[in-house]
Structure 1
Amino acid sequence: MSMLSQEEIDALVNQLAAPETEEKTETKRVKSFDFRFNKRLEKFTTNHLHTLRTLHDNYTRLLNNALSVYLRTRVEATIIGIEQISYGDFIASIGVPSILSIFSMDPLPGSGIVQLDLNLTFSIIDRLLGGPGWLPQKLRDLTDIERTLMQRFMARVLSSYREAWSHFLTLSLRIEALDSNPQFIPRIIPLDQMIAYVSCEVKIGEMTGIMNFCLPYLVLQSIAAQLSEFQWSGSVMAGRGMTEEDVAELARNVERAEVSVSVELGRTEVALKELLELAVGDVVLFDVPTSKALVARVNEHEKFQVFVGANRDKYAARVASIVWAEE
């Protein structure tokens, strides 16, 4: 049996006394990455979006004037947002059914899309058919007649759109397709390509809805430099001012607009039993003295105090005073 030397014994003792060496492990940092959207995919600059915002602010002013005359009621359109997203995200965000209209933008290559929600669409159709803008009991696809009416309406929408662009570029806009299902419309660009997404709130009478524009970067790419450098001036800038021509055109449009005028003879309350027993020749008395002026309404808003009489075998109302709206 061999004996360990003093050096070997000291080496074993030192080895046992030494602390265990922990292996250093490298912690890998995981970065989140959204494959649908990346800064490197962005195409529109801040200047691009600013110019497009100003253009569309001016567009809503033109649209309000044109549609107020066309639909014979007050129309208020305002831009609520503009951003760049992928075409795929735009298609995924569209509710079904929803009215989609693809339009060409000659001389620019490709097409754009304007989308209307269905509530707003049916309210417009009802007004075009002479109604007050009511909705059907159940939302559905459009009939052939309704589709034709919406094509004419979209033509008016694009007419104002062309006028708004005319301060920047002369375009010829033409409707290429109109459908209520995004799956049935042609794909205008690949899903991963970027678009300028312009969202607009539109109030027509008492109905409020959303109208969206899809403008692909591939369509606007050829004028990207001009979008960055263009300076809006005068009445065009943010739609805040109006030239004399604008005022004259607005006055002509207002003069052609038709409004509804009605006079309320009076109100009263009767028992249901009395109402059921009413017959021809019975008289219902209102709690309004004949010496008191009646209320005349214009588009359901009180505007005049009038006295009712007859003129050439027809009922007539003579204006006694004007009701000024409270500020």
Structure 2
Amino acid sequence: MSQVLSQEEVNALLNGISGGEIETEQEEISEDSETQTYDLTSQDRVVRERMPVLEMITEKFARMFGTTLSSLLKRIVNVNVMSVDMLKYVEFMKGIPLPASLHVFKMDPLRGSSVFIVESQVMFALVDIMFGGSGRETFKIEGRDFTTIENNLIKRVILSALSDLEKVWKPIIDPDVVYLRSEINPQFAQIMVPTDVAVVINFEIDLGFSTGTITLCMPYSMIEPIKEK
């Protein structure tokens, strides 16, 4: 049977608690709760980190690809890095302007696949120039798929881009870049889980008389292992 406290003992106990002389169980739990913090959005946190290696590679690729396009099109083409963003893949997919030409590839030994997206106006301008045109025409892009010839010509551009990409990555991981397929529907170019984080790099293609965008999208998990190199 529990011992009954006297009134004096009860008063002494209450005074000890209020004066801080006696620690309560509630205070111990509170201290533990402050040290036991869990970051349920840790993937959102890491994407805010800078990756100097990726930035260096991206700038080098832009310069090299500009030279490659200039040689391919027989005119001066400047390629500039517009932005390097990190966001959920599902949000990136929602923002792809349609129609667009999507090209999926992988870079062994890095795990996962990446995708180049060529917006339609840039694609038609490049194809027109490769056919001997000026590239200045205004193209109606709604209501039709890309032709086989258009797809083959733009694939040639992308293969050149992949060759340059392999060269700029070589000092880091010596990759084997492999072209996988082309798509026009983003739903068929799912390279990662929608909620995963993507690294999205937008390149401005400056043809002199007009500009457009080619975008490179890579899984953050693919390049995270080399970000400290």
TM-score of Structure 1 vs Structure 2, range by shorter chain: 0.7 to 0.9
Whether contact under 8 Å (2:115, 2:216) holds in the other structure is yes
- Which structure has greater helix proportion? 2
Match 2:145 to one of 130, 141, 144: 141
Provide runs of 4+ in structure 1 moved above 4 Å: none
| Alignment partners' CA distance in 2, 1:216 and 1:121 | 24
| Equivalent AA in structure 2 for residue 120 of structure 1 | V
The answer to whether residue 197 in structure 2 is matched with residue 194 in structure 1 is yes
Match of 1:180 in 2: 184
Whether contact under 8 Å (1:97, 1:118) holds in the other structure is yes
TM-score, normalising length: structure 2: 0.76
User: Residues 177 and 135 of structure 1: is their aligned pair in 2 closer, same or farther, counting only changes over 3 Å?
Assistant: farther
Match 2:171 to one of 164, 167, 170: 167
Q: Deviations over 1:259-311 (max 9, x none)?
A: xxxxxxxxxxxxxxxxxxxxxxxxxxxxxxxxxxxxxxxxxxxxxxxxxxxxx
Identity %: 24
Structure 1 unaligned runs (5+)?
1-37, 231-327
State the Cα distance separating 1:54 from its structure 2 match.
1.6
TM-score, normalising length: structure 1: 0.54
Larger relative contact order (Cα-Cα within 8 Å, sequence gap ≥ 6):
2
> RMSD in angstroms over aligned alpha carbons?
1.7
| Equivalent AA in structure 2 for residue 142 of structure 1 | F
- Which one has the largest radius of gyration? 1
Q: Deviations over 1:70-126 (max 9, x none)?
A: 110111111111121011011111011011111111111210011111110000001
State the Cα distance separating 1:40 from its structure 2 match.
2.4
Structure 2 unaligned runs (5+)?
1-39
| Equivalent AA in structure 1 for residue 216 of structure 2 | F
| Alignment partners' CA distance in 2, 1:122 and 1:205 | 15
| Alignment partners' CA distance in 2, 1:135 and 1:88 | 33
Match 1:94 to one of 75, 93, 96: 96
User: Residues 39 and 54 of structure 1: is their aligned pair in 2 closer, same or farther, counting only changes over 3 Å?
Assistant: farther
SS in 2 for 1:166: helix
| Alignment partners' CA distance in 2, 1:204 and 1:162 | 24
| Alignment partners' CA distance in 2, 1:106 and 1:54 | 20
Match of 1:120 in 2: 122
The answer to whether residue 227 in structure 2 is matched with residue 227 in structure 1 is yes
Whether contact under 8 Å (2:105, 2:181) holds in the other structure is yes
The answer to whether residue 76 in structure 2 is matched with residue 70 in structure 1 is no
| Equivalent AA in structure 1 for residue 87 of structure 2 | I
The answer to whether residue 100 in structure 2 is matched with residue 85 in structure 1 is no
Q: Deviations over 1:153-178 (max 9, x none)?
A: 11011111111111222111122121
Q: Deviations over 1:183-226 (max 9, x none)?
A: 3x2421110000111111111231200111111023224xx2x3
